[in-house]
């Protein structure tokens, strides 16, 4: 079970709300791009030790596509988009107008398509939050990886472990109308932005 480690219930709700706002903007951006419906679930907020990130978000041996971006504001947070392989291939097909067949091979073009989708998602997610915070938030250029979920999530885990002990991760799940498996967006705000978000929403 997640221990709240000093966070009040209302603060966690506020962080979840940020995930919903950001996630909805991001999903609208994808929906406009691929002209399909994108459904967003209610977001979750995890507060845990950094080393638990790789095992907290599903089967760690599942092969997924992940996009990683730094979220620059006053501090440096992390943005991740994790897509199950079938969904990644579908998204890339919708975007590039190609058609993949059985072995679902993931080539260079798919890599850049997924990087672009991650970039668009993260930019709209962060610009939504930056309107609340009243200062600019920008993502770095995206990095894409295909591999085991646990292995991919080790990268943000070790980055945030260098900065702080406990991390706050805001997860927003989304599905595209004809795929059944959900992908998710993960936002790990740095401590400075975290405090700012809570102050702006008036819960501290």
Q: Does 169 bind other proteins (CB under 8 A)?
A: no
Q: How far is the CB of 108 from other proteins (least distance, A)?
A: 10
Q: Do 25 and 123 contact (CB within 8 A), yes or no?
A: no
Q: Does 5 bind other proteins (CB under 8 A)?
A: no
Of the candidates 20, 26, 16, the one whose C-alpha atom is nearest the C-alpha of residue 119 is 26
> Position of tokens 């219930």?
9
String of contacts with other proteins for each residue 94-133, x by CB under 8 A? -----------------x---x------------------
Of positions 97, 141, 178, 202, contacts other proteins by CB under 8 A:
141
How many Å apart are CA 94 and CA 46, to the nearest integer?
A: 32
Tokens linked to 11: 């603060």
How many Å apart are CA 130 and CA 42, to the nearest integer?
A: 21
Tokens linked to 17: 């709300």
Q: Does 60 bind other proteins (CB under 8 A)?
A: yes
Q: Does 54 bind other proteins (CB under 8 A)?
A: yes
First to last CA, the chain: 25
Using the contact rule CB under 8 A, the part of the chain among 3-11, 26-34, 44-52, 123-131 near other proteins is 44-52
Provide the binding-site residues for other proteins, judged by CB under 8 A.
Answer: 49-52, 54-55, 60-61, 66, 68, 111, 115, 140-145, 147-155, 157-159, 161-165
């Amino acid at each position: 079970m997640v221990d709240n480690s000093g966070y009040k219930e209302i603060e966690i709700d506020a962080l979840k709300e940020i995930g919903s706002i950001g996630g909805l903007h991001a999903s609208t951006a994808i929906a406009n791009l691929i002209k399909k419906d994108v459904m967003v679930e209610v977001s979750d907020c995890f507060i845990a030790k950094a080393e638990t990130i790789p095992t907290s978000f599903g089967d760690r041996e599942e092969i997924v596509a992940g996009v990683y971006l730094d979220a620059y504001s006053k501090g440096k947070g992390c943005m991740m988009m994790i897509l199950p392989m079938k969904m990644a291939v579908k998204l890339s097909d919708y975007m590039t107008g190609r058609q993949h067949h059985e072995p679902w091979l993931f080539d260079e073009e798919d890599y850049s398509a997924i990087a672009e989708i991650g970039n668009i998602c993260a930019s709209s997610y962060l610009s939504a939050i930056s309107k609340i915070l009243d200062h600019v938030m920008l993502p770095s250029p995206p990095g894409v990886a295909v591999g085991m979920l646990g292995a991919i999530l080790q990268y943000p885990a070790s980055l945030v472990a260098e900065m702080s002990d406990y991390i706050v991760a805001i997860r927003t799940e989304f599905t595209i109308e004809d795929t059944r498996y959900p992908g998710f967006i993960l936002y790990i705000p740095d401590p400075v932005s975290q405090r700012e978000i809570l102050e702006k929403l008036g819960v501290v």
